[in-house]
Amino acid sequence: MQGGFAVPVDGGIPDRPLRDACGVFGVFAPEHDVARLVYFGLYALQHRGQESAGIAVSDEGQVTVIKDLGLVSQVFDERMLTSLSGQHAIGHVRYSTTGAPHWQNSQPLVRSRNGDVVALGHNGNLVNTTELRDDLVRQGVKFSGTTDTEVITALIAHEAQTDLLEAVRTAVSKIRGAFSATVLSGDSLVGFRDPYGVRPLVLGTLDGHPVISSETAALDILGATFAREIAPGEIVIVDAEHGLRSERVALEGARPALCIFEFIYFARPDSTMAGRNLHEARQAMGRQLALEAPVDADLVIPVPDTGIPAAIGYSSASGIPYTEGLIKNRYVYRTFIQPDDDLRQRGIHMKLNPLTSVIRGKRLVVVDDSIVRGNTTTKLVEMLFAAGAEEVHLRVSSPPIKWPCFYGIDMATRAELIAANMSVDEIRRKVGATTLHYLTLDGLQASTGLPETQFCRACFTGDYPIAVPEEYAMCKMRFENDAACEP
């Protein structure tokens, strides 16, 4: 993994937080500085991907793309933004789930189609990439990168005898998996979402102009107005001649399956999904957790930042005072300067530092959103006891993660997921906590305020709403040379 701060323990396998695939953004706004609008939209979506960032702008059909590895603020400067003039633009921030973190895999990806350039940014993961890619190769299509996004782009570009909407419609009918995407070509901007709606995509307006975004929070930063969610299977297209149009691509057997981890962790707490403010939903998870797993303690502290809303909810329901006990270095994102082995062993201190004066001698309720492998949690518990905590009661605002994700989360294989291989008490002993409780699946579902039929919950249940081929390897490097993939 290039960049980042991982903490290798237990044989050197690095632990890492869950990462969503990407964030996408698009705007059709003639007479506006569309590149700058997309830049700030991506800035608001930076949490969804920190490997690379890119913007594509169309000026009278002439498409210019600037992209590179790094954060939005590292890739773009004032000179670059000033050079990107046009009527509509799309942008992308990436965290890889298929394909290595190389420049050629950064997005938007581009292909030629009928003399026009097609630029595309994608959030999600396909489950039939290999089949589609092999078929395109047999038809003479060449690939320079190693992502499923390149397959989607190639499918659209390959439909050269039809208009852009028909080409997108054909591509959507062929691809399977999770995909929310923006496309820019000629004088058109397109957004589309898979028939299950696994990854979020919303439509807003800015001074009467359409804006497409992964999350509502990115609309807010521009002063845009949220209009509605783009429905599962919906394609929206806008151009100067026809304005905004939309249609649905039906898929037999498809049902709504929004990734429930968007509610728990991925999306910003100031975003709204399925009509619910996520900060409020996460507080409800904390309140439910307090009801399910009460404990006699002195303080409730969150693992920042994602544990904060649930910790507030736990405190309000339990009556135990809430306070900050861990200070986060908010400037630790992805970096191209690697820590040495000794610093890696101390890596958690790069991100979190305990407030010793607050926690010394206290019985702590420590609220986090999830435990993946358990290595970072072990280091965290050790750090809190070393700082003088009397007791550390871990409370997790999601159920145990027992199954890998095939739809766009960079998640460990099942062999590496601690909850797939240990009981809750075994996990407690491994991480060294005084007590450990997870939120129940029923409690989580009740906290969302929505029925379970609206969500994908496969990482907890193993019930995958989109069929995954048996030969599909859970390996994001499967198109790299000499890649070793295991199911």
Could you give the residue numbers annotated as active site? 22
The angle subtended at Cα 362 by Cα 358 and Cα 367, nearest 5°, is 80
- Please say whether the beta carbons of 37 and 23 come within 8 A: no
- Residues 114/61, Cβ–Cβ less than 8 Å: no
**12 in Cβ contact with 190 (< 8 Å):** no
DSSP-based three-state secondary structure for 170 = helix
Q: What is the Cα–Cα distance from 6 to 109, expressed in whole angstroms?
A: 29
At 169, list the tokens.
């419609």
DSSP of 389-444: -SEEEEEESS----S--SSSB----TTT-HHHHS-HHHHHHHHT-SEEEEPPHHHH
CA dihedral over 153, 158, 163, 168, signed as positive or negative:
negative
Sequence-ordered list of residues with C-beta below 8 angstroms from that of 22, at least 6 positions apart, any chain: 48, 49, 92, 93, 94, 95, 107, 121, 122, 123, 124, 214, 408
Instruction: Specify the DSSP class assigned to residue 180.
Output: E
The helix-helix angle for 148-158 and 164-174 (nearest 10°) equals 130
Q: Cis omega before residue 108 (within 30°)?
A: yes
* CB within 8 Å of 133: residues ≥ 6 apart: 143, 151, 479
Name the strand (E) or helix (H) holding 165: helix 164-174
- Name residues whose C-beta falls within 8 Å of residue 69's C-beta, 6 or more positions apart in sequence: 2, 51, 52, 75, 101, 103, 106, 336
